[in-house]
Structure 1
Amino acid sequence: MSALKIGDRIPNFTLPSATGETVNIEDFIGKKSLVIYFYPKDDTPGCTAESCAFRDSYEVFTDAGAEVIGISGDSPESHQKFAQKYNLPFILLSDQGNKVRKLFGVPSTLFILPGRVTYVIDKEGIVKHIFDSMLDFKAHVDEAIKTIKSM
């Protein structure tokens, strides 16, 4: 499948969360805007910086009617430890096997490292903004806030 583009509807998917419950993305459609960020790995320096930046701005997103969801290939248990260690208030989903990453068309870096891409999605499930940067962690949050506030 080719990469999602602005104007595309996100694919339906279901993944386990850090708390062990199953999350179906369709449960959010029609109710909330979404900020879905794909990141390489729990508890690594860049991913921790990005996740903590989303944590620190979480209230801005919820005040704007949006939910933040982080997705990586780590296990639900790894996500639970990561969320507890850094007090992450949002949903972390486990995409072991990278099936959802592939559905979105998130590229790999150097063909091995899972990419870091953030998608801002409106209440109808339509992609409104995509930001792709492996190294500018804080910009993922800044770009998402700017887009959410303009919707």
Structure 2
Amino acid sequence: MAKSPVVGATAPDFTLPAVQLVDGAAVRSELTLSEQRGRPLVLAFYPGDDTPVCTKQLCSYSSGLEEFTELGATVWGISTQDVESHEAFARKHGLRMPLLADTGRTAATAYGITLGAMVRRSVFVVDAEGVLRWKHVAALGLTFRDVATLTEQLALLNEGR
């Protein structure tokens, strides 16, 4: 397992296929971390589509999306399932953020969160310049960082500007 990047380091770059529901249509694209410079980004790595904790986590982030956008931030959900799985998951639960398909586990490996065949539930906050400013890597992944915790970290970024 690669080591997780340290807070204060440049966030590892990656490009992954993604899907996002926009007015009921599934919009597919490729998203690249380094192309998001200029605004903070929350990277929410989760073990699997439609599993109980992951569903609760992603639904809470989707429900709280305005709290993130009010702080100028974008949220990406990332797991190892393919785009088709992500689209079905997003449609079933009305998820509004992009879901990225890390089928080759390249991003998960770069962030040091692989554990055997699994990916640890992890959240990384990247600032507008592409620097990792906060992270949480779960030992077991039975819980997740809530919207209030993440928006608190984003608010601290805004105070530091």
1:144 to 150, 154, 158: 150
What do the CA deviations read for 1:16-72 (whole angstroms, capped 9, x no partner)? Answer: 00233111112111x210000100000000100100111111100001000000100
Greater than 3 Å deviation, 4+ residue runs: none
Question: Once the two structures are aligned, what percentage of the paired residues are identical?
Answer: 32
1:124 to 125, 129, 132: 129
CA distance in 2, matches of 1:140, 1:116: 12
Within the alignment, does 1:26 sit opposite 2:31 as a pair? no
What's the counterpart of residue 43 of structure 2? 36
- Segments of structure 2 that go 5 or more residues without pairing to the other structure are 20-26
Q: CA deviation at 1:141?
A: 2.9
After superposition, residues 2-151 of structure 1 pair within 5 angstroms as: 2-18=3-19, 19-29=27-37, 31-108=38-115, 111-133=116-138, 134-137=141-144, 139-151=145-157
How far apart are the structure 2 equivalents of 1:34 and 1:113? 23
Any idea what SS the aligned residue of 2:125 has?
A: strand
Partner of 2:23: none
Q: Report how many aligned residue pairs link the two structures.
A: 147
Q: CA RMSD in A?
A: 1.3
Output the amino acid matched with 2:5.
L
Gapped regions of structure 1 (runs ≥ 5) = none
TM-score (norm 2): 0.86
- Secondary structure of 1:93's match? strand
Paired AA for residue 7 in structure 2: I
Deviation at 1:113, TM superposition (A): 2.8
Partners of 2:28 and 2:15 lie apart in 1 by: 12
Deviation, 1:107, is: 3.9
| TM-score (ref. length: structure 1) | 0.91
